A and B are shown apart, each in its own frame.
Chain A
């Protein structure tokens, strides 16, 4: 059994979903109510691999809402994640992916220091951020989508925004070692981490975002767009491929103009239908087949019987692990989203 911990994108979204699913007790409730709401298993489904192997999964709705961060209900936000993890573990799930903001909150608020949740000791080996598969899928999206838009990677400059994060640094490692990209631009806020990353890669240049974007043929976003940043889209190269690996996906509205191709990053398509309801709720274009790569990682770990926290801790993603999860991804029928 694998698990997925997810959440809805806003209070308004949560209210409408509760109403659609037939939970009037949860619909029309304000943020205070959601701060008190317990995690719930809201879907139980099967996934069939391209090999024919079938596994079962459960979707745990954490009841976290992004408004909790915006309204400084930080304790509530961290409780949601820990409680959802405890719920998954108590439900006998072998490996659970922390989707959406879950892994970001876990990492940012150092929740690994809190092992005890009520009468349960969390076993972190049963959880994965899913970041290795997400990084792998984003890299494949860059490699496979760039030529489709007339961009030859051997002659291209790739900017990675959010380069020092867990996914960003993995993407930089892969692009440096496995592709022939001409130049790599490392963009992030923390200068020290940027310098360390450049030293590790022995490749690429550290640049501020406003200087990096006009030089880039490909932009990988693994951080959401900084608030207040006014990007002049006319300065961008044409064609330019943008892989939006951030959460929530908000790049396409900012850069909607001819010659700029925005791809939803870190999304995979399965070759067989999955009979679940959840991806309808998170507004995937093809809900029966498309899903976040981080979720797919927990499926892959279950298919491969790799019941371990495959992606865990910051900047631990190696090329070898990306290879391993990438091979499993192909074997079981997942493809990076390319349109």
Chain B
């Protein structure tokens, strides 16, 4: 039986690490910023009956963003925000389109399921390899993100019958973007000690659990959560 290799010791101050961190940190900051924005938009335009709850979620995302900005500062890294804006541009665009068309199901799939799950997976895999400062912050954040995922899950579960077809369509249009995004950051994530197969697996597990909670069968979950992965 082969032995488990010890995790490599990270040099958080090396130029290679900081260079990769400038993009990963920016993605996280941008992700939290957009999440804040998305929840506020939903509260204002599409889900006014859940306004208080959504505003609360938005405020949490804002707090997370500040936490991650502090993580970058702690390592004296300037986040590459233009890279991060570009990284999220397609998902962001799809959310804005759905918002404009009043497609609340698609909005929730993009923000509450895909983006939250993407964040949860990334934070779960990052925590064991993070520097001490970032680890504490990320551990706090990931707990909140499960609550956000739960918000979308509960609403979609309650509206499953009418939402099902739109969820499948939105999944088809948006999940392949996630695999593309993961490929884009594969090398930088590896420098931080985060392996792509672990990220994909964590994403598929959490996303699959959410879909199952909403009401999809095991077979549907297997198909939906792997959509587009083979050709990514």
Contacts and interface: CB of A to CB of B under 8 A. Distances in A.
B205 A118 contact: yes
Interface string B66-92: 000000000000000000000000000
Nearest to A83: B205
B186 to A, nearest CB: 11
Given A74-B5, A119-B146, A29 B201 contact: no
B195 interface: yes
B208 A32 contact: no
Contact of B230 (A33, A83, A104, A108): A33
A37 B4 contact: no
B229 A33 contact: yes
Interface stretch (A38-46, A260-268, A279-287, A302-310): A38-46
Given A38-B204, A40-B218, A29 B2 contact: no
B208 A25 contact: no
A326 B195 CA distance: 45
A174 to B, nearest CB: 26
A78 B222 contact: no
A118 B198 CA distance: 12
Interface in B1-40: 1-5
Nearest to A118: B124
Interface residues of A, number: 32
A202 interface: no
Given A35-B197, A75-B198, A25 B229 contact: yes
B200 interface: yes
B61 interface: no
A162 to B, nearest CB: 13
Interface string A19-32: 00011011011001
A36 interface: yes
Contact of B222 (A25, A74, A76, A104): A25
Contact of A79 (B142, B196, B198, B209): B198
A227 interface: no
Interface string B122-157: 001000000000000000001100100000000000
- The residue among A25, A38, A74 with the most chain B CB atoms within 10 A of its own CB is A38
Contacts of A90: 209
B2 A74 contact: yes
A74 B6 CA distance: 11
A90 B206 CA distance: 12
A25 B209 contact: no
Contacts of A32: 197
Interface string B100-136: 0000000000000000000010001000000000000
A282 to B, nearest CB: 20
A22 B220 CA distance: 11
Contacts of B225: 38
B201 A36 contact: yes
B133 to A, nearest CB: 20
Nearest to A108: B1
A216 B45 CA distance: 80
Contact of A78 (B4, B195, B206, B218): B4
Interface in B187-207: 195-198, 200-202, 204-206
B185 interface: no
A72 interface: yes
A79 B124 CA distance: 13
B98 interface: no
Contacts of B1: 69, 104, 108
A141 B89 CA distance: 64
Contacts of B4: 74-75, 78, 109
B223 interface: yes
Nearest to B143: A119
Interface in A62-81: 69, 72-76, 78-79
B204 A37 contact: yes
B142 to A, nearest CB: 8
B227 interface: yes
A152 B142 CA distance: 64
Given A37-B201, A37-B204, A79-B201, A69 B223 contact: no
B60 interface: no
Interface of A: 22-23, 25-26, 28-29, 32-33, 35-42, 69, 72-76, 78-79, 83, 87, 90, 104, 108-109, 118-119
21 contacts: A22-B219, A25-B223, A25-B227, A28-B230, A33-B229, A35-B197, A36-B198, A36-B229, A37-B226, A38-B205, A38-B208, A41-B218, A69-B1, A73-B197, A74-B5, A75-B198, A83-B205, A87-B205, A119-B142, A119-B143, A119-B146
Lowest 3 CB-CB distances: which A-B pairs, in order?
A36-B200, A35-B197, A25-B226
Interface of B: 1-5, 120, 124, 142-143, 146, 195-198, 200-202, 204-206, 208-209, 218-219, 222-223, 225-227, 229-230
